[in-house]
Amino acid sequence: MSVTVKNISVIYSPINQNNTFSSGDFISGHVILDLAKDTKMQSLSVKIKGKAEVCWRERHKSTVVYSDKEKYYSVERFFVRENKTHGNDDHEMMLRDPSGQPYSSVVAPGRHVYPFTLQLPRQHFPPTFKASVGKIVYTLETKLSRSMRISSKAKAEFLYFPSPDVSNPELMAPQYRTKDEQINLFSFGSVSMNLKTEKMAYYLGEGLKVLAEVQNNSSRTIKPKYCLYEKHSFFARGKRKLHTHDLFKEEGEPIEPNSRKNVTKVLPIPPSLTISILNCRILKVEYRLRVCLDVPFASEIKFPVVILPFQSLSGVSSATNSDFGIWNQPPGGNAYPNPPPMPPSASPFNMVELPGHCGALGYPGPPLSQYPAPGYPGPPLSQFSAPGYPGPPGQFAPPSYAGLPGQFDPSVSHQSDSSAPPPYQECHLYSQLPDHPEQS
């Protein structure tokens, strides 16, 4: 028996070399249908959504599964929809072709390309993240429904990073700590240490400066020791699962017996780290700076550290309209003063006579694989490489977390891969958490 829908996919165009999106950015792309024969559609839609979920198992007397989910947004727009159930409200949710005409529910054999542009909400959501028992994902999804047939679906994940938010004055305020210690093993005397950091929040790649005033009233030479470590916390059903991992350790200058010394140490923030996640109910990514003296049984001083994304991660300038926008050219004119760039017009693109080209019949446009991001005249998209995202199509690596490819293993050091992603982020398979079925 022949297959009517040979392929369905959704692709999007990068807006920057990091292939990342931020709050309020427009994301443009296409839904592509390859049909073997005439097809009548009940509906064809594209959906954008973001969510977080956690799931893990623990063995007690029996196996207990802990899972939870947090949804951030889910908005669906339709190219075709025959069964309207919400009256006139449905018209506002329908997408039209660039000429303002509705799409036909009956399509001929060949390739059909439906363009769309969506705007991400302006709220600050947690960044893309993946670990062994939890993840935060943002996806584009398309769905084709036909009468008496199983729906055809496809998904593409995109990388979301919020813009740095330093409106909280505590993030940029200095931090102070003091510690006094008595030494009674292998030596005698006391030591004291006054510590200061310039602030709490640091951008990726920035240096963390630690100022220490050490009074050594003991009979031995001592040195301050520094460690930056991360904490991954996952929450479900009143239970917390915690992963900790030391990122790096360093030592400071030695302080001679019966002397006082001011020690300054600058610790580099690795650019491959996941940024701090503090605004998610079911998972958190936190960082701590641990400082101690190399004396037996010495207590530690800990500072909270907040890791911010690079100062410029968003792409094109975002329009100042609703929290969740859809760009749609209405018939008879442009209702918006400054629309984002759009691909060449088509209604939709039918590729029967021009296979491998992205354009209406008779339009000798470039091959679809060479179609650049809207308004972006730069290098081929195959050269775009998000930091820490070397994965091939259909796979997904954790954001800026080179060394945690979908699994969190504190015993494994971070490694990077310099291979570049494909021109478009296209995905037909969606990774699932272990034994945790996908829910919309």
pLDDT digits (tens, 9 = 90+) for 16-70: 988 999 989 999 999 999 999 999 999 999 999 999 999 999 998 899 999 999 9
Mean pLDDT calculated for residue range 119-138: 93
Tokens of 395: 């796979």
At 99, is the pLDDT very low, low, confident or very high (cuts 50, 70, 90)?
confident
- For residue 159, pLDDT beyond 80: yes
Residue 226 has a pLDDT of 94
pLDDT on residue 181? 78
Q: How confident is the model at residue 209 (pLDDT cuts 50, 70, 90)?
A: very high
Separation of alpha carbons 203 and 185, rounded Å = 41
In whole angstroms, give the CA distance from residue 224 to residue 292.
Answer: 6
Q: Which of 267, 271, 274, 224 is nearest to 245 (CA)?
A: 274
How much is the mean pLDDT over the chain?
A: 74
Band (pLDDT 50/70/90 cuts) for residue 403 is very low
Name the band, by pLDDT with cuts 50, 70 and 90, for residue 367.
very low
Count of Cβ atoms closer than 10 Å to residue 378 Cβ: 12
Residue type (1 letter), 228: L
Q: Does 411 have pLDDT greater than 70? A: no
Cβ-Cβ contacts under 8 Å for 192 (sequence gap 6 or more): 178, 179, 180, 181, 214, 215, 217
Which tokens hold the place of 96?
Answer: 């039209």
**What are the helix (H) ranges across 381-422?**
none
Q: In this predicted structure, what is the pLDDT of residue 68?
A: 97
2 burial (CB, 10 Å; 0-12 / 13-18 / 19+) is exposed
pLDDT tens per residue, range 253-280: 888 988 999 999 999 998 889 999 999 9
For residues 244 and 187, give the distance between their C-alpha atoms in angstroms, rounded to a whole number.
Answer: 33
Q: Which of 193-202, 297-306, 381-390, 401-410 has the highest mean pLDDT?
A: 193-202
pLDDT at residue 428, rounded to an integer = 34
The pTM score is 0.67
- pLDDT-wise least confident of 112-121, 130-139, 313-322: 313-322
2 pLDDT band, cuts 50/70/90, is low
* End-to-end C-alpha distance for the chain, whole angstroms: 31
Radius of gyration of the chain (CA): 27
What is residue 90's three-state secondary structure? helix
Residue 423 pLDDT greater than 70, yes or no: no
- State the average pLDDT over residues 177-205: 84
Say which residues have a Cβ less than 8 Å from residue 333's Cβ, sequence separation at least 6. Answer: none
Give the Cα separation of 79 and 148 in Å (integer): 20
Task: Give the pairing of strands 189-197 and 224-236.
Answer: unpaired
d(CA 47, CA 138) in angstroms, rounded, equals: 11
